[in-house]
Structure 1
Amino acid sequence: MIRPLLFILLFISSYIFSQNKISYKVYYDENLEQNGLKIKVDYTQKKSSETTEFYYRNENWGEKDLFKSVIILKEDNPGISFETKPDNDEIKVRHKNSRKVSFVYHIKQDFKDPNHRIFNRPKVKDHFFHVMGKNLFIVPKTFTEMPDDHEFEFSIEWIGFPADFKIHNTFASQIKKQKIKTVLWEGFYHSLFVGGDYRIYDFKIHDKPVYFAVRDEWNNGFSDDFLFSNLKKAVQSQRDFWKDHDQDYFTVIMSSTVSQKDSLFKGYSTNGSAIKNAFMIQGTNNPFNNKNSYLYLLHHELMHDWIGNRIKNQHEELNYWFSEGFTDYYTYKNRLRIKDISSVEWLKLFNEEVIKSHWKNPQRNIPNYKIKDEFWKSRNVEKVPYRRGSIFAFWLDNQIMIKSGHKKSLDDLMQELLKTCTEKKLKFTDELFLDLVQKYLDKDLSYFFQKHILSGEDIDLTNEKWIDGFQFKTTDDIPQLQTDKNKEVKYIL
C-alpha cells in the first residue's frame, strides 16, 4: 500500500511542477534584422483546452506599444490562430484541444537607427541583439497570477548561432542550453539578453565570476582596459564594504545607443539600470564621452545591488529618499574610499552635484508623498529624493561619528540594515530605519525625519553639528561644505 501511495504522491508532485515549466528555442537567422529572432515556445498546461492566454508586456520602462516588436506568422503556426490584446498585455492562442501548447513568434526591432532616446525597446540587428527578458519571452498568463516569490523553470536553447556570435545574459555567459530557475517579475522578467559582436571579459572575487560584456569601439579614452579595470575596482570595493561575497554570478553589459566619431549629436547621454544579477549601461558613443559620468554611473548602479535590490523598498517611490539618496551618497563616499577621487575632488563633487544642485532645484521642498505621483513626470521632482536623501545620509553619517567618538559611522548602520533585511526577509520601511537609527544615536529621530524628509523642509546645514574639520558657509544663499586645511578630517573610517 505504501509503494502505490508513494508513486501517486510523486506523480502529483511531478504533475504540479510541470505547470511551472516552460521551454523556448531561439533560432539564428543570417537576416536577423529583417526576420527578427525566431522563438518557439512549448508549454504543458494543467488541463486540456482549445484556448490558452499568454502574457506579453506592451509597456515597459518608458517604452510603449511594444507589441509592434512581436511578429506572429501563419506559415510558422499551421492550425493555430491568435488574437492580440495589447491593452491587456495578452495574446490569446487558439489551438487543438490539448494540454500541450506550442507556437512560434518573432521579436523584431521596430524603430530606425540612430535614436539616442531609445534605451529599452528590443534591438535586433544582423550582428547583435539586445532585448529585455520581459520583451523577449512570452509566458502563460497563469504565471503572472502566482505569488511574487513563486519560482518557475525556464529552459532556453540557442540554436544555429555561429561560434563567434556571443550569447550572454544576466543568468549565464556563452551557454547554449540554459535552465533558469527563478521568480518571474524580479527574476526572469527583470533581465537582459544580448548576443552578437560583444567582447566578454571576466574575473573572480572569492571564486565567484563577474563578467563584463561590451560592444562597439568607444571614443574619448573609453578603452576596454579603462572600462574593465574600473569595473573590477568598483565591484571589489563594494563587496568588501558590504562584507558580501555570496553572489554566484554577476555581469555588467555595456551597449551604445548611437555611435559616431563626429560631433553631429552635441551631447553625452548615458543610462544605467540595475537588473537581475547585473546592471546594464547604455549611452551615446561620441567625442563627448565623459569618464567621470561613467565612473559615477558605475558606482551608483553597482551600489543598487544592495540598496534597492537586497534592501528592497516596501513602498517604492515613497522610499526613494533612501534607495536613491543613500545610493547617491555612497557613490561619492565609496569613490573617495578607494582613492578613485581625491578629497578635494570629493568635496567639489559633493558641493556641486549634490548640495548646489538640490538648492537650485525649484521642487526641492516638495513633500515626500507627492514624489510618488510626480517622479516619472518631472525631471526636477525625479532628482529630489537623490539629493535630499544624500544630504540626509551625510548628516546622519556625521551624527553617528560624533556620537560614537569615531568608533562607528553610517557604514555600520547600513551593514546591519542589510543583515536584518536579508536574514529576517524584511523590506525597507521608514519605521524599520528609524528604529535602527535610534540604536545608533540613542534618541528618537522621528520629528527630524518628518520635518526634513517627509515634509521636505531644508536642513539648516550651517547650524548643525559636524565632525571636526567640517563646516558649512552660505554663498549666494546656497550652503557649501568647507574643510579646515589645518586639520585632518576623519571622514573615512
Structure 2
Amino acid sequence: MFKKLFFLIFILPLLAYSQDKVSYKIYYDEDLAKNGLKVQVDYKLKKSSDTLSFYYANENWGENDLFKNFTILKEENPGITFEIKPENNAIKVYQQRGSVFSLTYHIKQDFKDPNYKIFNRPRINNTFFHLLGKSLFVVPQLFTKAPDDKEFDFSIEWIGFPEQFKLHNNFASQVQKQKIRTTLWEGFYNSVFIGGDYRFYSFKIKDKPVYFALRESWNNGLSDDFLFSNLKKAIQSQRDFWQDYDQDYFTVTMTPTVSQKDSLYKGYSTTGSAIKNAFMIQGTNNPFNNKNSFLYLFHHELMHEWIGNKIKNKNEELNYWFSEGFTDYYTYKNRLRIKDISLDEWQKLFNSEVIRNHWKNPQKNIPNYKIRDDFWKSREVEKVPYRRGSIFAFWLDNQIMLKTNGQKSLDDLMRELLKICTEKKVKFTDELFLNLVEKYLDRDISYFFQKHMINGEDIDLVQERWIDGISFQITDHIPQIQIDRNKDVKYGE
C-alpha cells in the first residue's frame, strides 16, 4: 500500500502538468529520399513553461543510434532553441514562456540500399516508407512517466500525399486524418506506419475488417493470391480455434528488405513481429524464398495475438517456454487441423524442426533462469524455449487426451486460460498454469515441470505414455515420433 501511494504521489504532479493529447502533421515531399518525412508535433501544457522535453528512442528493436535518422532545421523552428540528447532519448526545447509547444523535425533513412541485415531502421525513399511508430513520432517525455495502462489521444494528419501514395498503419487504412486513443508503449509505440506503392487486399470476419498490405513482386511462387489466400485461412482458423472474434481491426504488412531476381545473395532472411492490431513481415525477396517458411511465419506470428498478447507473460523470458513454445506447438497443430499439412507432413516437420533440432542444440539442457539471462545473447539459447516448450505442449496435449478418453485436449485448457487472463485481467505465471493443468489431469505435475521445464532435463519420450497410434523410437540417438498407420490416430482433429 505504501509503495502504491508513493508512486501516485510521485506521478500525479507530472500528469497534472500535462495534457493527455498530442497532434502531428506529416508532410509529403517529392524527394522523400533526400528530405525524409517532415513532422510537426504540437502539444499544449496545462500550465505555462519555457522548457519542454520530447522523447525519441535512440535504441529500438535491436537498432542503435537512431538519432542519426532525426534532423531539426533551425529555419523551420523560429522562436525556439533546442538541445538534442541521444544518451537521454531526449530533445529539450526552450522558448518564450507559454503553454503551447510546437516542434518540426525530419525522419530520414540513414543507410544505403541494398542492406540484408537491417530490418527495423526507418526506410524512406521516393517509392515507399516503412517505419515503426517509435521511430517516427516524438512524444512529450512526461508521457513516458505515466502508468503503462494510461491512454493518450494522438491526432495525425497526412498532408499533401498524392492519391496513389497509399497510407496505412495498424490503426487505420488509407485515411488522411486519424485520431488514435491508446496506450503509449503497447499501443502507439508498438506500431508500424507504411506508405507508397503498396497493394491492398481485405476480407471480413464477422463484419470486422482484416487488411493485407504488400509491395514488390515476390519471387519463387509467392504470388499475391498464394500469400493472401493462406493468410486468410490462417487468420480465420485461429479465431475459430480460440472462439474469439473481438478484434475490430487487424492488418498484416509485408515489406521486402531487399528485392532481386538473381542469386547474388545466396539465402534468404525473413522476420515477423506481432504488434498492436497487427503483425508485420519483412524479408529478402529473391529466388531463395521458401513457401513453407512463410506459412510457418503466418501461423506462428498470428498465434501471438493470443499467446503472448492476450495471455501475457508476467515474467517475460522466464515464461518464454510458454509464450514461444506453445505458440510454436500450435503453429504446427493448427496447420494440421486445417489440412494445410497432412499427418505425415506434420510428423516429418515436428520430428525434424522441433525434436531433432532441439536434441542437436548444445544448449538444450540449459536451466530456465539462464534462458532469461542469455536469450538475447545467443541464437542457440534463443531457440531452447521454442522447442522445449513445444515438446512439453505435445506431452501435455497427449496426457489430457489420455485422461479424458479423447473428450478433451490441450485446446480446451488453452481456451479456458484465455478466458481467465482476459476476464480476470491477470498475467500468465507458472503457478496459474500448473493449477489449471491439475484441474484437467486430476494430479499435480509440479515435480515433472520443475525437472524438465525449469531445470532443463530431457523428457524420456520413449518411456512416456501417448495416445493410441503414437509412440517414440530412438533414431541416431534422437527420439522420433512414430505413427501406426493401421490405427485411426485421433490427433489434430
TM-score, normalised on structure 1? 0.96
Q: CA deviation digits over 1:334-359, x for unaligned, max 9? A: 00000000111000000000000000
Q: 1:174 to 1:16 in 2, by over 3 A?
A: farther
For 1:267 and 1:114, the matched residues in 2 are separated by 15
- Kindly tell me the number of residue pairs found equivalent between the two proteins: 479
- Alpha-carbon distance in structure 2 between the residues aligned to 1:154 and 1:431: 38
Counterpart-to-counterpart distance in 2, 1:111 and 1:442: 58
- Deviation of 1:82 (Å): 1.3
Provide the rounded CA distance (Å) in 2 between the counterparts of 1:20 and 1:47.
13
How far 1:16 moved relative to its partner?
A: 6.3
> What is the deviation of 1:84?
1.2
Other-structure match for 1:279: 279
- For residues 10-65 of structure 1, give each alpha carbon's deviation from its aligned partner in whole angstroms, at most 9, with x where no partner exists: xxxxx969700000000000000100000000000132111101100111111000
Counterpart AA for 2:86? P
Residue equivalent to 1:299 = 299
* Match status 1:312 vs 2:297: no
Q: Distance in 2 between matches of 1:98 and 1:209?
A: 43
Question: Match of 1:461, SS?
Answer: coil
Instruction: Give RMSD over aligned pairs.
Output: 1.0
CA distance in 2, matches of 1:478, 1:492: 24
Task: Kindly indicate whether residue 251 of structure 2 is the aligned counterpart of residue 247 of structure 1.
Answer: no
Note the alpha carbon deviations across 1:362-404, whole angstroms, 9 max, x for none: 0000000011110001000000000000000000000000000
SS of the residue 2:346 aligns to: helix
Q: Report the equivalent of 1:339.
A: 339
- Give ranges in structure 1 of 5+ residues lacking alignment: 1-14
Equivalences for 1:38-53 in 2 at 5 Å?
38-53=38-53
Matches within 5 A, 1:326-475: 326-475=326-475
- 1:122 equivalent to 2:122? Answer yes
Matched residue SS, 1:93: strand
> 2:63 maps to what in 1?
63
Q: CA deviation at 1:477?
A: 1.0
Tell me if the contact between 2:26 and 2:40 (Cα under 8 Å) persists in the aligned partners. Answer: yes
1:179 is aligned with what amino acid? K
Q: Give the secondary-structure state (helix, strand or coil) at the position aligned to 1:287.
A: coil
Partner of 1:106: 106
| Distance 1:17-1:223 versus aligned 2 partners, 3 A rule | farther
Alignment correspondent of 2:480: 480
1:341 counterpart letter in structure 2: I
CA distance, structure 1, for counterparts of residue 142 and residue 317 of structure 2? 28
Checking the alignment, whether the CA contact within 8 Å between 2:44 and 2:100 is kept in structure 1 is: yes
One-letter code of the match for 2:200?
I
- The separation in 2 between residues aligned to 1:91 and 1:251, in whole angstroms, is 32
The C-alpha deviation readout for 1:417-447, integer Å capped at 9, x for no partner, is 0000000000000010001000000011111
Q: Is the 8 A contact 2:42 2:103 kept in 1?
A: yes
Question: 1:60-119: CA deviations, max 9, x gaps?
Answer: 111000011101011110121111111111111111211110010001000111111100
Give me the whole-angstrom Cα distance separating, in 2, the residues matched to 1:396 and 1:95. 62
Q: CA deviation at 1:414?
A: 0.2
Give 1:18-33 correspondences, 5 Å limit: 19-33=19-33
AA matched with 1:374: D
Amino acid at match of 1:379: R
Closer/same/farther in 2, CA of residues 425 and 17 from structure 1, 3 Å limit: farther
Partner of 2:4: none
Q: Deviations over 1:153-187 (max 9, x none)?
A: 00000000000100000000001100000000000
Q: How does 1:80-95 map to 2 (within 5 A)?
A: 80-95=80-95
Equivalent in the alignment of 1:6: none
Secondary structure class of the residue paired with 1:29: coil
Aligned to 2:7: none
Query: Could you tell me which amino acid in structure 2 is paired with residue 184 of structure 1?
Result: L
Change (3 A) 1:17 1:420: farther
Give the equivalent residue in structure 2 for 1:12: none
1:76, 1:230 → 2: CA distance?
47
Q: Which range is displaced more, 75-84 or 445-454?
A: 75-84
Q: Distance in 1 between matches of 2:45 and 2:372?
A: 39
Which consecutive residues of structure 2, in runs of 5 or more, have no partner in the other structure? Answer: 1-14
Residue identity opposite 1:41 in structure 2: V
Deviation at residue 492 of structure 1 after TM alignment: 2.1
Q: Distance in 1 between matches of 2:46 and 2:479?
A: 64
Superposed CA offset, 1:289-341 (max 9, x none): 10000000000000000000100000111100000000000000000000000
User: The residue matched to 2:173 in structure 1 has which SS?
Assistant: coil
Q: Which stretch shows the higher mean deviation, 381-390 or 18-27?
A: 18-27
What are the superposed Cα offsets for residues 223-257 of structure 1, whole Å, 9 maximum, x if unpaired?
11111000100000000000000100000000000
Q: 2:81 & 2:401 partners in 1: Cα distance?
A: 67
Q: What does residue 8 of structure 1 align with?
A: none
Distance 1:224 1:468 in 2: 41
Q: Does 2:290 match 1:290?
A: yes
Q: Matched residues in 2 for 1:299 and 1:491: separation?
A: 19
Letter matched to residue 456 of structure 2: G
Identity percentage over the alignment? 74
